[in-house]
């Protein structure tokens, strides 16, 4: 897919650039859904397992932009924190009213309180129960983000970046929506539009996404979910107030069981006024998503060489010539990935591998590390978009098993999901634009 290159499409209000990573995702999806020689479910799950490793390699590559840009990040600290308000309010203020207008019911609350992915399951399950409509809303947004998130934010970012209205660093902050794949796709597009500031853009997007991820759980529990709940009540004039109150009361009896596993179907649950039939449908959707998101186990001795070879070949194609620095750079990223995975296991996953990879990568690329200059030179020879191409191509191969879920979540989540991503990205970028201007 890297050989195809980028395609520029004029859409009147601007131009959209379709990058190789998008071609890779589309090609992978077509391979996974074609009927001539179907790609087996186990192979699709194997591709999904490889994506997890590819994400860590991509995070490692982005971390090498953080170290050299530390002073810039410190100076932008107030803007980085303020723009998080955009990620918080964007989905609630704009996507929630649309969901109410489309009569999504109380699923609206779960679908629009946050774009954060896995953490949302536990937050909503504990408050409303795993059989509730609110939980179904979270599931629906999860499926939508899995299938369409990276492609849509790539096209959206390409369009907005070509307007030339926003500071590229403000756009980079907006890219940190809390999803690693969406952030990488969006940041890569911005960096390609402003190559002179590519390093700063990638660093800013990485830190913004890290902040969104770290704060996501606490903001979701204490601010976003209660705000979405109250705003929903306000827009519906309390129509479902008793229903949600009953749901919360019932969830309190089963909170411990629900919190044990966000994906566990058939565990107690707050159904409130939900009928037995509706509760059963919700449980079936939970079971379907649990089955779809389960992966086969691929030993690191196999997954690392596969990702390494695919990554090196793609990066060399992007470089348009053979460069030993690409090979060495990938070896550095692979070593960083293995260290991150090892430390995560050592801490019993209390500190995730992605945090280890980001932290160590930022440190060894900073002026404080004696070999930083040499390491940065090697790793910087790897085009970030080439790493994203590998990741999204593998993600595309794993999507065929998820398409049947579209029938269960309904069409209403599509416009709501598009507005949620757009609002989170644009509102955050607008706030960052003003904050950067204020603090210089």
pLDDT digits 0-9 by tens, 185-234: 899 899 989 999 988 999 999 888 888 877 777 788 888 899 999 999 89
Range of the domain at 246: 7-317+383-439
Q: What is the CA radius of gyration of the chain?
A: 21
17 three-class SS: strand
Among the residue ranges 113-127, 153-167, 221-235, the one predicted with the least confidence is 113-127
16 three-class SS: strand
Half-sphere exposure (Cβ direction) of 354: Cα atoms closer than 13 Å: 19
Task: Give the whole-angstrom CA distance, residue 232 versus residue 197.
Answer: 41
- Specify if 349 maps to a domain: no
pLDDT at 240 over 60: no
Q: Which is nearest to 424 in space by CA: 234, 202, 189, 224?
A: 224
- Specify if 359 maps to a domain: no
Residue linked to tokens 């947004």: 141
Rounded to the nearest 5°, which phi and psi values hold at 398? -95, -5
Q: How confident is the model at residue 260 (pLDDT cuts 50, 70, 90)?
A: very low
- Specify if 364 maps to a domain: no
Tokens of 15: 């131009």
Query: b vs e for 200-238, b when ≥16 Cβ sit within 10 Å of the residue's Cβ?
Result: bbbbbbbbbbbbbbebbbebbeebbbebbbebbeeeeee
- Specify if 338 maps to a domain: no
Q: Higher pLDDT residue, 274 or 256?
A: 274
Among the residue ranges 95-99, 118-122, 257-261, 293-297, the one predicted with the least confidence is 257-261
Give residue 3's pLDDT: 63
- Specify if 342 maps to a domain: no
- Specify if 92 maps to a domain: yes
Percent of the chain with pLDDT over 90: 35
- Specify if 305 maps to a domain: yes
Q: What is the mean pLDDT of residues 52-72?
A: 89
pLDDT at 264 over 60: no
Task: Give the whole-angstrom CA distance, residue 227 versus residue 90.
Answer: 12
Percent of the chain with pLDDT over 70: 82
398 three-class SS: coil
Give residue 251's pLDDT: 53
pLDDT at 258 over 60: no
- Looking at every residue in the chain, the average pLDDT score rounds to 83
Q: What is the mean pLDDT of residues 102-123?
A: 82
Helical pair 384-397 and 300-319, crossing angle rounded to 10 deg: 130
Give residue 392's pLDDT: 87
Q: What is the mean pLDDT of residues 151-178?
A: 91
Task: Give the whole-angstrom CA distance, residue 148 versus residue 143.
Answer: 8
Tally of structural domains, the chain: 1
Q: How confident is the model at residue 142 (pLDDT cuts 50, 70, 90)?
A: confident
Give residue 272's pLDDT: 43
pLDDT tens track for 362-395: 999 999 999 999 999 999 999 988 998 998 899 8
Q: Which residues 6+ apart lie within 8 Å of 230 measured at CB?
A: none
pLDDT at 242 over 60: no
pLDDT at 252 over 80: no
- Specify if 132 maps to a domain: yes
Give residue 422's pLDDT: 95
Q: Higher pLDDT residue, 16 or 144?
A: 144
């Amino acid at each position: 897919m890297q050989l195809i290159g980028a395609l520029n499409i004029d859409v009147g209000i601007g131009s959209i650039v379709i990058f190789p990573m998008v071609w890779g995702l589309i090609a992978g999806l077509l391979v996974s859904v074609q009927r001539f020689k179907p790609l087996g479910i186990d192979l699709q799950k194997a591709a999904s397992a490889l994506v997890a490793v590819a994400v860590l390699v991509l995070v490692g590559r982005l971390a090498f932009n953080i170290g050299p840009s530390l002073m810039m990040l410190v100076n932008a600290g107030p803007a980085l924190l303020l723009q998080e308000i955009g990620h918080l309010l964007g989905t609630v203020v704009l996507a929630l009213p649309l969901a109410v207008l489309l009569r999504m019911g109380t699923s609206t609350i779960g679908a629009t309180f946050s774009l954060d992915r896995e953490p949302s399951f536990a937050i909503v399950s504990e408050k409303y129960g795993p059989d509730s409509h609110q939980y179904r809303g979270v599931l629906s947004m999860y499926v939508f983000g899995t299938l369409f998130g990276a492609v849509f934010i790539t096209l959206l970012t390409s369009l907005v970046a070509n307007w030339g209205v926003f500071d590229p660093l403000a756009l980079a902050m907006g890219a940190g929506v809390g999803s690693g794949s969406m952030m990488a796709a969006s940041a890569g597009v911005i960096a390609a539009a402003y190559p002179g500031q590519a390093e700063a853009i990638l660093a800013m997007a990485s830190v913004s996404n890290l902040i969104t991820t770290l704060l996501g759980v606490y903001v979701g529990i204490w601010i976003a979910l209660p705000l979405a709940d109250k705003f929903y009540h306000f827009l519906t004039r309390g129509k479902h107030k008793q229903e949600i109150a009953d749901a919360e009361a019932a969830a309190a009896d089963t909170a411990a069981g629900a919190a044990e596993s966000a994906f566990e179907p058939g565990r107690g649950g707050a159904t409130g006024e939900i009928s037995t039939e509706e509760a059963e449908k919700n449980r079936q959707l939970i079971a379907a998503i649990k089955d779809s998101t389960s992966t086969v186990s691929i030993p690191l001795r196999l997954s690392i060489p596969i990702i390494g070879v695919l990554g090196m070949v793609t990066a060399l194609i992007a470089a348009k010539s053979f460069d030993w620095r690409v090979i060495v750079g990938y070896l550095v990223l692979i070593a960083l990935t293995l260290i991150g995975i090892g430390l995560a296991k050592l801490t019993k996953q209390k500190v995730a591998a992605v945090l280890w990879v980001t932290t160590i990568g930022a440190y060894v690329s900073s002026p404080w590390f004696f070999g930083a200059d040499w390491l940065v030179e090697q790793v910087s020879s790897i085009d970030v978009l080439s790493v994203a191409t590998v990741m999204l191509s593998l993600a595309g191969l794993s999507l065929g098993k998820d398409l049947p879920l579209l029938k269960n979540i309904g069409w209403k989540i599509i416009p709501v999901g598009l507005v949620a991503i757009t609002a989170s990205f644009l509102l955050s970028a607008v706030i960052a634009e003003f904050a950067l201007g204020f603090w210089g």
